[in-house]
Amino acid sequence: MHEFAENVRYPTNAPDLSKMCKEVRDAFGPEETVAFVSGNFNVLHPGHLRLLKFASENADRLVVGLSPDGPREVTIPIGTRREALEMVSFVDCILDLTQPLTEVIAALKPDIIVKGAEHKEHFNVEQAIVDSYGGRLVFGSGEIAFADNEALEREFSRPSKAALVPRDYITRHGITLHDAASTVAAFSGLRVAVIGDLIVDSYISCQPVGMSQEDPTIVVSPQDEARFTGGAGAVAGHARSLGANVSFLTIIGDDEIGETSLDALEELGVQVFGFRDPTRPTPLKRRFRAQGKTLLRVNELRQHDVEEKVARRIAEAFEAIADQTDVLLFSDFNYGCLPQALVDDLVTRARRRDIMMVADSQASSQFGDIARFKGMDLITPTEHEARLSIRDFHIGLASTVEKLKASTQARIVAVTLGGNGLLVRSESDGEPFADRLPALCAVPVDTAGAGDSLFTSMTMSLRAGADPWLSALIGSVAASCQVSRIGNKPLHQTELIEALRGVLA
């Protein structure tokens, strides 16, 4: 719900109706329009949700009047009914109707009163009141397709859990739940700096309409849009939600979506250093989805290197926080935020202070080279990215990892293999050693953000003192949590510990 709805609740014995309604209006912006819906709402069903969504789309704010307990048709206590309405994201305020509905409407003066279409042919007492102050009475029950969006809402809030248990790996490395939980608890207070490309991920939920009669094209009707802070912003969000004190250095375009994403990170508690580059928009990646599947992806971005003066400002900002930094994460999506000269400068500054450094350089729909990040404590490429870097698509996977480790001089190489899990190359008892983890989520819902959550969690585990094998397991469990739901939402520390308990208990 909106901030106002979360923080304002009126007592059922509110003595002054005009004062109460004035406080409601004052809590909204002076230019914002208000829609009003009233009812019993005994059991909140899809018909109610369609009506409420329709009302919210016709005004800036939605106020719901809730009938009091007492009448025969009210079968559920008002507290329970109010709690259900508070869970509806597009309801901004709930008023307990302790006085006659006509008096509440006259005092509140909503711009629009919305009633179900079934009331259109009947007498409506609200009509004369809205006519008296210039409001409108609107009839409509919303789109039937909204009922399908309930399933989509469940997709976005799907619980996270790891499905497959790698017992042989756990036994081989002597991993215990106590060690894993203690490591994740130690994330709190780590000082993390994230540098890289901010991306905005948009998920547009669509209702299938059918096949075009003019050409062989699938036709869909957009129903709803959800946006997430992605790219290096998602890495910063994960680190903060997992307990670290996080600084995020990035560039944005001269646009609202970049500002909005940075605002969201600041609300999460991330210290943001956002540098504006007017030559590029903030990257926006749109995914059009229907019935649980992605139909189309559309990327709006430019990939040229950031201006030199902006790169200097990023380096200066890192210099200001470097002495209070435990680990530096390069989260490179190859959209221009990290030109080589800037990377070399930042590495020099971090190495001077013995700061742990890790890097992830993505090359899914663009070209990237993880090998340009030399001497990292950890790199986490996909197999495709690893082979791109060594320019060899023919040798075996083990040889690929060895060649990549030699070229990057990385201490630990963790190659992600999608549905085939993770291959980790490090040392054990001073000797070269490689081990493999299976994918822990058998049925992934959305793979976006899997690498970001693994990269962040594995890095923080290493910095908290865990060995590469426990760190890899924690990262893999984090990735399994991420792919079990829609959207690259920050992973919370308690959520990760609970998932680890499911694997290790």
Q: pLDDT-derived band of residue 141, with 50, 70 and 90 as boundaries? A: low
Continuous H helices in 253-339: 256-268, 308-321
Instruction: Quote the CA–CA distance of 47 and 39 in Å, as a whole number.
Output: 13
Instruction: Quote the CA–CA distance of 139 and 46 in Å, as a whole number.
Output: 17
Any idea which of 93-107, 359-373, 413-427 has the lowest mean pLDDT? 359-373
Residue positions counted in the chain: 505
Does the structure show a pLDDT above 90 at 247?
Answer: yes
Q: Is 461 strand, coil or helix?
A: helix
Tens-digit pLDDT profile for residues 211-233: 777 787 888 888 888 888 889 99
Give 342-349 contacts, CB < 8 A, sequence gap 24+: 342/306, 342/311, 342/314, 342/315, 343/372, 343/373, 345/315, 346/195, 346/315, 346/318, 347/373, 347/374, 347/375, 349/315, 349/318, 349/319, 349/322
pLDDT of residue 495: 92
For the 151-504 domain, the top CATH level (class) is alpha beta
pTM of the prediction? 0.67
Residue 348 CB: number of other CB atoms within 10 A? 10
Does the structure show a pLDDT above 90 at 69?
Answer: no
Does residue 158 or residue 303 have the better pLDDT? 303
Instruction: Quote the CA–CA distance of 500 and 24 in Å, as a whole number.
Output: 45
Does the structure show a pLDDT above 90 at 147?
Answer: no
Burial of 31 by CB count in 10 Å (0-12 exposed, 13-18 middle, 19+ buried)?
exposed
Tens-digit pLDDT profile for residues 71-105: 767 777 888 888 889 888 889 999 988 888 899 99
Q: For tokens 């109460």, what's the residue?
A: 20
Q: Both tokens of residue 404?
A: 């990549």
Does the structure show a pLDDT above 50 at 339?
Answer: yes
pLDDT of residue 431: 84
Q: pLDDT-derived band of residue 159, with 50, 70 and 90 as boundaries? A: very low
Does residue 348 or residue 219 have the better pLDDT? 348
Any idea which of 3-12, 15-24, 34-43, 300-309 has the lowest mean pLDDT? 3-12
Does residue 92 or residue 70 have the better pLDDT? 92
pLDDT of residue 45: 65
Does residue 201 or residue 325 have the better pLDDT? 325
Domain residue ranges in the chain: 3-142, 151-504
| Architecture in CATH of 3-142 | 3-Layer(aba) Sandwich (3.40)
Burial of 492 by CB count in 10 Å (0-12 exposed, 13-18 middle, 19+ buried)?
middle
pLDDT of residue 15: 54
Does the structure show a pLDDT above 90 at 6?
Answer: no
